[in-house]
Amino acid sequence: MMGDYLAFAAVQAPEPGTTTTATRWGSATGWRTYSPEEVAQSDVLLRVENLTKRFPVNMGFRKKAYVSAADGVSFDVRAGTTVGIVGESGCGKSTAARLVLGLIEPDSGTIAFEGVDVKSLSRKRRRELRRDMQMVFQDPYSALNPRMSVGDSIAFPMRVHGASKDEARERAALLLRQVGLHPNHASYYPHQMSGGQRQRVNIARALALNPRLVVADEAVSALDKSVQAQVLNLLTDLQEELGLTYMFISHDLNVVQYMSDRVVVMYLGQVVEECASDELYEQPLHPYTQALLGSVSGLDPDQPPGPRLEGEIPSPIDPPSGCRFRTRCPEAMPVCADQRPLIREPRPGHFVACHLFEEGDGHAGTTSSGPAALSPALAM
Ligand SMILES: Nc1ncnc2c1ncn2[C@@H]1O[C@H](COP(=O)(O)OP(=O)(O)O)[C@@H](O)[C@H]1O
Ligand code: SF4
Ligand SMILES: [Mg+2]
């Protein structure tokens, strides 16, 4: 997995009161569209670049503030692999998922699917793209219509996309088998099934239109541990069988490690570290990742416990200047309050945004094994 080059750059948008010399990742004018040859070479299915999203919140009489839910979020997802996104609740994981799926619009930044900026697509192609990207949600019960039979729920997206009743019914039966249920379950209603079975139904429904990318947002968080393992194994088997690409989101580091080839660690709307899954757990570099790992029990009984995560997450309405983690970081230095840390690559394919790694290699906003490693042609 060390050879994976999945690119990451927490591209640095200057914050008010913050000095940074960061530049954009990519060309000065923004993202570029790849030729089909370049995409074929790169193997990148999804590229998220510098996504920013702020939500307005009402602060009382005529007072408005903004929640910074995503701030310069960038990562790539290679076809056929799983990228895990991990971080505490409220760090922007679901916002990133909703942006990728087009459920909300970014304030700025780019999402490219197979090298093509989704903003540049025709309406027709955008509709097709919705088929290519599907989501499995956290709560398997509320994600299903309680008044619809399981078979109808799975058939619904196919019917919407023009399949006949018989075609949809036949495929629903096949999908039920594929997710480890019996075709007879088609006549069940959600309340007649267990949580694990319902999540299998959700997975079947997500697969109905033959997607390329499946975004699983806390997909097993509501399930018991033993059922979690079964559903995770199912997802892994389906990935192999169908060549799926996953964006796997969870606050649970153990689950993310189990599932992912690469992991993106988020804190308060920003990506702070990204690398191969094994490496993240063996040699985490960012103090936040180290603290997250220190807070997880049972990863490795032979390892001495690392630093623990102390304190509360600051408000995303008024995040700390400079490094957003500085109010909880045991290593914080004066520079951390003044400047947002630039992205560095202290080890090949291992990216971190922290002032502790600002010496030596790396340069503002780009990663040497990021786009450049795809092929010279992609490294604008
Ligand atoms: N529609 C919204 N309106 C206002 N704030 C929102 C909205 N959606 C998310 N947020 C805020 O954005 C931040 C990130 O939320 P979210 O992406 O759901 O985090 P996560 O999935 O990591 O728990 C949180 O502070 C959350 O309260
Ligand atoms: S930049 Fe400073 S405050 Fe932020 S994680 Fe690194 S050492 Fe800690
Ligand atoms: Mg969430």
What digits encode the pLDDT tens for the residues 329-345? 999 999 999 999 988 99
Distance between first and last Cα of the chain: 25
In a domain? residue 120: yes
CA distance 98 to 23: 26
CA distance 112 to 76: 9
pLDDT at site 111? 96
**Percentage of residues in the chain having pLDDT higher than 90:** 69
Pocket of ligand 1 (CB under 6 A): 55, 57, 67, 69, 87, 89-95, 316
Q: 9 falls in which pLDDT band (50, 70, 90)?
A: very low
| 225-242 helix and 195-207 helix, angle to the nearest 10 degrees | 20
- Give the CATH number of the domain where residue 86 resides: 3.40.50.300
Does 75 share its domain with 176? no
- Res 116 pLDDT > 50: yes
Lowest-pLDDT range, 21-30, 114-123, 158-167?
Answer: 21-30
Q: Is 287 in the pocket of ligand 2 (CB under 6 A)?
A: yes
> Atom 3 (ligand 2): residue with closest C-alpha?
326
CA distance 46 to 79: 8
- pTM of the full structure: 0.85
Containing 365, the helix (H) or strand (E) segment is none
| 195-207 helix and 150-160 helix, angle to the nearest 10 degrees | 20
Does 195 share its domain with 293? no
**What's the rounded mean pLDDT across residues 59-74?**
90
Mean pLDDT, the chain, whole residue set:
83
- 87 sits in the region (left: phi over 0; alpha: psi -120 to 50; else beta) called left
In a domain? residue 62: yes
What tokens appear for 95 in the block? Answer: 């916002």
Does 27 share its domain with 147? no
Residue 65, class by beta-carbon neighbours within 10 Å (0-12 exposed, 13-18 middle, 19+ buried)? middle
In a domain? residue 43: yes
Does 338 share its domain with 353? yes
Q: Is 326 in the pocket of ligand 2 (CB under 6 A)?
A: yes
pLDDT at site 297? 55
What tokens appear for 211 in the block? Answer: 């997607």
Does 129 share its domain with 157? no
Ligand with smallest separation from the Cα of 265: 1
CA of 88 to the centre of ligand 3 (A): 9
Contact 347, 4 (CB under 8 A): no
CA of 139 to the centre of ligand 3 (A): 11
Q: Beta strands 262-267 and 82-86: pairing type?
A: parallel
CA of 217 to the centre of ligand 1 (A): 13
In a domain? residue 233: no
- Res 2 pLDDT > 90: no
Contact 286, 356 (CB under 8 A): no
pLDDT at site 91? 96
The per-residue pLDDT for range 124-153, each reduced to its tens digit, is: 888 888 899 999 988 777 789 999 999 999
The per-residue pLDDT for range 218-258, each reduced to its tens digit, is: 999 999 999 999 999 999 999 999 999 999 999 999 999 99
Q: 63 falls in which pLDDT band (50, 70, 90)?
A: confident
| Closest CA relative to residue 253, chosen from 93, 367, 96, 97 | 93
Lowest-pLDDT range, 93-102, 275-284, 370-379?
Answer: 370-379
Does 170 share its domain with 117? no
Does 271 share its domain with 378? yes
Which range in 1-5, 32-36, 334-338 is most confidently predicted, on average pLDDT?
Answer: 334-338
Exposure class string for 195-229: b at 16+ Cβ within 10 A, else e:
bbbbbbbbbbbbbbbebbbbbbbbbbebbeeebbe
- Res 375 pLDDT > 50: no
Contact 231, 220 (CB under 8 A): yes
Does 150 share its domain with 120? no
Q: Give residue 182's domain range.
A: 139-217
- Res 327 pLDDT > 60: yes
Q: Is 340 in the pocket of ligand 2 (CB under 6 A)?
A: no
Ligand with smallest separation from the Cα of 138: 3
Tokens 């670049």 locate to: 49
Q: Is 268 in the pocket of ligand 2 (CB under 6 A)?
A: no
CA of 91 to the centre of ligand 3 (A): 8
| Closest CA relative to residue 157, chosen from 137, 189, 127 | 127
CA of 59 to the centre of ligand 1 (A): 16
Does 46 share its domain with 177? no
pLDDT at site 306? 64
- Res 16 pLDDT > 70: no
Containing 273, the helix (H) or strand (E) segment is strand 270-276
pLDDT at site 141? 74
pLDDT at site 38? 55
Does 166 share its domain with 300? no
- Res 193 pLDDT > 90: yes
In a domain? residue 311: yes
Ligand with smallest separation from the Cα of 70: 1
Angle at 112 (CA atoms; ends 110, 115), nearest 5 degrees: 135
Phi, psi at residue 132, to the nearest 5°? -70, -20
- 180 sits in the region (left: phi over 0; alpha: psi -120 to 50; else beta) called left
Tell me how crowded residue 294 is: count the other CB atoms within 10 A of its CB. 17
CA of 34 to the centre of ligand 3 (A): 31
**What's the rounded mean pLDDT across residues 315-341?**
96
**Which among 195, 217, 239 is the end of a domain?**
217
> Atom 11 (ligand 1): residue with closest C-alpha?
69
Ligand 1 atom nearest to 91, measured from its CA: 22
H helices present in the chain, as ranges: 36-42, 93-100, 123-132, 150-160, 165-178, 195-207, 225-242, 253-259, 277-282, 287-294, 334-338, 371-374
Domain count, the chain: 2
Does 56 share its domain with 120? yes
Q: Beta strands 44-58 and 108-113: pairing type?
A: antiparallel
Does 2 share its domain with 55? yes
**Which among 198, 217, 236 is the end of a domain?**
217
Instruction: Answer with the residue of higher pLDDT: 267 or 24.
Output: 267
In a domain? residue 228: no
Tokens 């922290």 locate to: 354
In a domain? residue 238: no
Q: 6 falls in which pLDDT band (50, 70, 90)?
A: very low
**Which among 197, 217, 237 is the end of a domain?**
217
What tokens appear for 276 in the block? Answer: 């191969």
Q: Is 136 in the pocket of ligand 2 (CB under 6 A)?
A: no
In a domain? residue 318: yes
